[in-house]
Every structure is written in C-alpha cells, then in structure tokens.
Copies of this chain bind each other. A is one copy, B any other.
C-alpha cells in the first residue's frame, strides 16, 4: 500500500507528533496538539484518523497518546546512486539504499574493533587510523584478512591455510609472511576482519592522532 501524501494541515500535525516524540519519548495527547496548533482536540482527532487511513501513522482510539508514527525514517543515512544525466543527484528517487550500521556490519554480537597501525597492509588499502570491525566467531577463509595473536602480539594479516600450516601474509612487499603450524600454541586467530571505517574530516583525524599516543594500534 503506497503512502498517500498528506495535506498541509496533516503534515503539520504529523510534524508536531514527531517533534514531541523526539523531545519527550512519548506521543502527545489530542489536547497538547490542539493547544499548539490552536485548534480543537476534535479537529486534531479527525486529522489523525485521516492520516491513519493513509497509513502515515497508527492511531489507536480510546488509548491516551495512542499514536505510532510509521515510515520511521531510519536513523540511517540515505545513499544516493548515480542518476541519468540531467537528473538531480540528490533527489528522493535517486536514493538506492539506506545505511544502517547493524545491517551493514552484520555479525555476531561480540564484534569488536581495532585501529590499524603501520603500513603492512598498504596494498589492501588499510592505513594507520582506520578502524577495523572484527568478528571473533567467524571461521577465516583463505584470502580473508584476520587479526591474529602471534606470541601474544596482535597483528593484521591475510590468512592462508595449507595442510598443517597457516600463512599470515602482509600486503606490502617490505614485509615477509609469517608461517605457523596449526597446532602452535603461541598463535591464535582473534577474528576475521569483516569491515572497516575511516574518518576523513580533519577534526576527527586530529582526535585520532591524539589518541595514538595514549592507546596503541595493531600492526
């Protein structure tokens, strides 16, 4: 069922509910809406009933504050695609998806993060300051990037398993691969890197730089 467009007045009511909800955490009463919009509660009620019919919200009669907004714009971030020439880039119908972290980085609950240090994964386009999302429950496949502990030292490398050995390859010719036996006790896969996020604005970069001295990163 498509979302029918709201009239000007209905939009005003809808907006008020939205703002009220954000401010208070619960919806307004008919009275509260009526006061702000300077109309009668009965009139507000009529608007709500109409909007409910249009599927813009749910209105439960007999229930105080019984309003639920639908089409909650997700906390998400709209993602624009490329549009045909001449078509405005930032138009509603050029939104190809909505970004929600939970959906994008879908992994087990005990997902964790590490910051990258150094240039050993340069050719995989990972650089100092990048934040990696690591899934500790996922079994690594050959070619995937993993966080491993070698003799207690965490390190980021590409994973290749062959017979009884595991090879951890850096992505930079300057460094050499590490080869360990699968039964080696001084070695442990901490998790598989399933995502990465990088801050690019200057203020954030400064913060990261400051952090750098306080906390370590994993190379």
Which positions in A face B, CB cutoff 8 Å?
24-27, 29, 58, 60, 63-69, 75, 77-83, 85-87, 89-90, 96-97, 99, 101-102, 104-107, 111-115, 117, 125-127, 131, 133, 135-136, 138, 141, 144-145, 149, 152-154, 190, 192-202, 204, 211, 214-218
Can you offer 24 A-B residue contacts whose CB atoms are under 8 A? Answer: A24-B60, A24-B68, A26-B26, A26-B27, A75-B101, A75-B102, A77-B133, A79-B113, A79-B115, A79-B131, A80-B113, A81-B114, A81-B115, A81-B216, A82-B117, A82-B215, A90-B112, A96-B211, A99-B131, A104-B197, A104-B204, A141-B202, A145-B200, A192-B201
Least CB distance, A89 to chain B, in whole angstroms: 5
Are B67 and A26 neighbours in the complex by a CB distance under 8 Å? yes
Are B195 and A198 neighbours in the complex by a CB distance under 8 Å? yes
Say whether, besides A77-B112, A114-B80, A196-B197, A152 and B86 are in contact (CB < 8 Å): yes
Are A216 and B83 neighbours in the complex by a CB distance under 8 Å? yes
A114 to B83, CA, bound (A): 12
Q: Which listed residue (B67, B141, B190) contacts A25, Cβ 8 A? A: B67
